[in-house]
Structure 1
Amino acid sequence: MDLDTFERWMDERQGYDVKTILAYLRTIKQFIKWVEEEREIDFTGPETITAGLIRDYRTYLAIISKKEPATINKALQVIRIYSRWGVEEGAIKTNTALRVQYIEEPLLAPKSLPEDYVDVLRDAMKSESLKKRVLIEIGLGAGLRVSEVTNLRISDLKLKKRGGEIRVRVGKGFKYRTVPMAPDLVELLQEYLHGRTDKDGYVFLAQNTDHKMSTRAVQKMVENLRDKLGFYFTYHTLRHTYCADLLNSGMKITDVAIVAGHLKKNGMPNIATTARYVMSNQYELAKAVRKMARWRQKRAGQNKGDEEI
C-alpha cells in the first residue's frame, strides 16, 4: 500500500486541507525512515506497524531527538490515522496504534500576546503601511487564520458605521462562519479599500499585481516585525490573542467558539477546543512565579525586621 493511496484517502474520504495532508505525509515518512534505518525493518505498509515499534519510536523522539511532547503526540496521532486507513482498506484488522498512549503534558492556553506586547505592536504599526496595519488588526480584531486572510475577498466584507461582518467562506476543515467586527476595524478597512472598484477582488493583493497576497508574504511581514520589536510571535498568535481577549472580556465560551470557527462537523460549538483559552499560558505561569519570589523576599525582610526588634 503506497503513500499516494493514503494521500487520496485523506483528501477524498477525510476532507483534510492540503497543508494538513502535506504535514501528515511528512510525519509518516519520517516514521518509515526511522523504521527502515534505525530498526532495519522493511516497511511494507500498515501491517509492519506494531505497538512495540511505536513505543520505541516514542522513546526515540523523546530521548534521542529531544522533541517536545506536543511534537511527539502529533507524530503518534498521524501514525494512528495511518493505521486507521490500513483498517479501512483491509490491510490490517485492528488499529494497534491506539494501544500506545500519548505523552501527558499540562494543558496550557495557546500562546497569546500579553496586553503590554499588544500595545507595543500597535504603536509600532503606526509607522508601517496601511496594508500592514490592516493585516495586523484583522488578526487581533477578527481572529482570522493566515490562509483565511489571504483568501478574503471584498465581497466577503459587510462594512457598516456601527460595525461589520467578515464572511469566512472556507475556514479550516471547510467550515463557514461569520465574524463580527468592531467599528474601529471597519473604519480601517474602509480607509484601506477606498478607491477599489473590483468589488469581488481579493482584499490583500500581492505587490503591483491583481493576484492575492501569499501566506508566505504575510508570514515574512510578521518575521520582520518581530525582529524589529524583539519578541516572538506568529500571525496565528494574533488569533490566539483574539480568542483569549474575547473570553477575558466576558464573552460566553459558546459564542467565542462560533466566531473562532471551533465547530464540530454537525455545526455545534466545539467547547473543548475553546476551553483551552481559559487556562493559564506559560507567560502567565512565569509571571506568577516571579510574583511569588517577590512575596518571599518581602516576607524575609519583614521577618528580619521582627528579629531585630
Structure 2
Amino acid sequence: MDKGSGTSLQGEMVVQEFIYILTIQGELTPKTLKEYASDLKHFTEWYKGKDIRSEEISFRIEDVDTSTLVNYREESEKVLQLKPSTINRRLITLKRFFKWAVSESKINLDPSKPLKFIPEDKVSPRRMTTAEEQSFILAVENGNSLRDRTILTLMFHTGLRTMEVCNLMPSDIELGKRSGELTVRADKRNSQRKIPLNMTCIALLKMYMEGLSPDSPYLFPSEKTSDRLTERALRHLIKKVMTTAGLEGLSSHDLRHRFGYAMAEHTPLHRLAEMMGHINPDTTMIYVKGLNANLSSSAEDGESEPH
C-alpha cells in the first residue's frame, strides 16, 4: 500500500465534498449530517493511526479495501467495545460514502459492499401514550392550515415516511363514499404498496383536494414555491406541532411507530409489513414484540386492558 505523504488532504477533501453534497440535498437533518461527519472523522483518524510505526499514514480512499473495513469493524467491537448500534451506524455511513465515491468516479470499486453488519437485538420503539396522541391531535386541529392538518392527520393514520408524503401525487389517492386507498409508488427500496384510509383521512382529503389546483403535480406542494414540499420543511412542521402539543423530542418516526403499534393489534404480520413498506417482516416484528411486552407487564401488575 502506498502511504506517500501529500495525499491525506485529498482524502479528507473527498470526505468534505461528500458532506457538502448531503447538506445541499437537504434530505438529512442537521443532527444526522453531524453524525455522518463525526463517523467519517472517526474512521479516518483510526485509519491514520492504525500503523504500529510512529509515522502517520495518509488517508486515501483508493487505499481502503474490504479487509481494512473488516478490521475497523472488529476493533470497534472487540477493542473499543462499542455498542452494535453505534458500530452499525458508522458502517452505514461508510457504505453510503463509498457508494457515492464510486458513483462520482473517485474510486473504481466499492470496498464496503461485502461488509456485513453486527447482529443486534432490535428494541421495540416507545409507543405514544393515549394522552400524547390526544395532545398531538389537538395541536394539529388548532392553528394549522387545511393542508397542514391533512398532512399531519394522514401521517398519524398511515405511518408514511416523510419522503413518501412529499412525493405523493393527487392520482395516488382513491376516495369513495365510505372507503379510500392511498398508493405509495415504488422506490429503490420497496415495491408499490397500498394503504387503506379511514374515515377521518377520507373526510379531510376530500375537503383539501377540492381546493387543490387541478394541474398540481404534487398532492402537498410547497406553499412558497408550489413545487415539491421538501422533507426539511415537513420535519419543521412536525417539530412545531410537537412543541405546541408539549411533546418536544417526538418526530415523524414516532408517528410511524404509532401507526405500527395500532395496526399490529389486529393486522396479520405479512399485511402490516406490506403496508409499512418493510422488505423483511422481521422488522415489523418489533411492534408485535412491543405489544406482547406491554401485555406481559400489565398482567404482572394485575391490570387488564380493553381491546
Could you tell me the TM-score, scaled by structure 1's length?
Answer: 0.68
Match of 1:120 in 2: 135
Instruction: Compute the displacement of 1:139 (Å).
Output: 0.8
Instruction: Compute the displacement of 1:32 (Å).
Output: 3.9
Return closer, same or farther for 1:25/1:125 CA change in 2, 3 Å cut-off.
closer
SS for the counterpart of 1:178 is strand
Instruction: Compute the displacement of 1:273 (Å).
Output: 1.4
Return closer, same or farther for 1:102/1:91 CA change in 2, 3 Å cut-off.
closer
Match of 2:41 in 1: 30
The whole-number CA distance in structure 1 between the counterparts of 2:271 and 2:251 is 25
Q: What are the superposed Cα offsets for residues 179-206 of structure 1, whole Å, 9 maximum, x if unpaired?
A: 1111221111111122334255312122
Match of 1:299 in 2: none
In the alignment, does 2:194 pair up with 1:178? Answer: yes
Amino acid at match of 2:289: M
In the alignment, does 2:292 pair up with 1:275? Answer: no
Return closer, same or farther for 1:91/1:141 CA change in 2, 3 Å cut-off.
closer
SS for the counterpart of 1:212 is coil
Q: Are 2:166 and 2:231, in contact at CA under 8 Å, matched by a contact in 1? A: yes
The whole-number CA distance in structure 2 between the counterparts of 1:80 and 1:133 is 37
Q: Are 2:159 and 2:260, in contact at CA under 8 Å, matched by a contact in 1? A: yes
The whole-number CA distance in structure 1 between the counterparts of 2:175 and 2:285 is 30
Q: Are 1:72 and 1:103, in contact at CA under 8 Å, matched by a contact in 2? A: no
Q: What are the superposed Cα offsets for residues 260-296 of structure 1, whole Å, 9 maximum, x if unpaired?
A: 1113xxxxxx311111111228x969x959x97x89x
Q: Are 1:143 and 1:238, in contact at CA under 8 Å, matched by a contact in 2? A: yes
Match of 1:55 in 2: 74
The whole-number CA distance in structure 2 between the counterparts of 1:29 and 1:163 is 48
Return closer, same or farther for 1:116/1:197 CA change in 2, 3 Å cut-off.
same
The whole-number CA distance in structure 1 between the counterparts of 2:132 and 2:188 is 27
In the alignment, does 2:255 pair up with 1:238? Answer: yes
Instruction: Compute the displacement of 1:208 (Å).
Output: 4.2
Return closer, same or farther for 1:139/1:278 CA change in 2, 3 Å cut-off.
same
Superposition RMSD on alpha carbons, in Å? 4.1
Unaligned runs of 5+ in 2: 1-10, 18-24, 51-55, 103-107, 303-307
Match of 1:46 in 2: 64
Instruction: Compute the displacement of 1:18 (Å).
Output: 10
Q: What are the superposed Cα offsets for residues 37-84 of structure 1, whole Å, 9 maximum, x if unpaired?
A: 544433343337164443334468766xxxx64232222355578899
Q: Are 1:226 and 1:233, in contact at CA under 8 Å, matched by a contact in 2? A: yes
Q: Are 1:46 and 1:83, in contact at CA under 8 Å, matched by a contact in 2? A: no
The size of the alignment, in residue pairs, is 263
Amino acid at match of 2:73: I
Aligned ranges for residues 132-211 of structure 1 at < 5 Å? Answer: 132-171=148-187, 173=189, 175-198=191-214, 200-211=216-227
Instruction: Compute the displacement of 1:135 (Å).
Output: 1.4
Match of 2:123 in 1: 108
Instruction: Compute the displacement of 1:174 (Å).
Output: 5.1
Q: Are 2:138 and 2:245, in contact at CA under 8 Å, matched by a contact in 1? A: no
Amino acid at match of 2:256: R
The whole-number CA distance in structure 1 between the counterparts of 2:241 and 2:213 is 31
Q: Are 1:154 and 1:201, in contact at CA under 8 Å, matched by a contact in 2? A: yes
The whole-number CA distance in structure 2 between the counterparts of 1:212 and 1:29 is 31
Amino acid at match of 2:136: L
The whole-number CA distance in structure 1 between the counterparts of 2:180 and 2:88 is 39
Instruction: Compute the displacement of 1:237 (Å).
Output: 1.6
Amino acid at match of 1:46: V
The whole-number CA distance in structure 1 between the counterparts of 2:49 and 2:261 is 43
Q: What are the superposed Cα offsets for residues 149-205 of structure 1, whole Å, 9 maximum, x if unpaired?
A: 111111111111112111111446253111111122111111112233425531212
Q: Are 1:157 and 1:167, in contact at CA under 8 Å, matched by a contact in 2? A: yes
Could you tell me the TM-score, scaled by structure 2's length?
Answer: 0.69
**Which of 45, 70, 74 is the matching residue for 2:89?**
74
Q: What are the superposed Cα offsets for residues 7-59 of structure 1, whole Å, 9 maximum, x if unpaired?
A: 9xxxxxxxxx9969x97975773354223454443334333716444333446
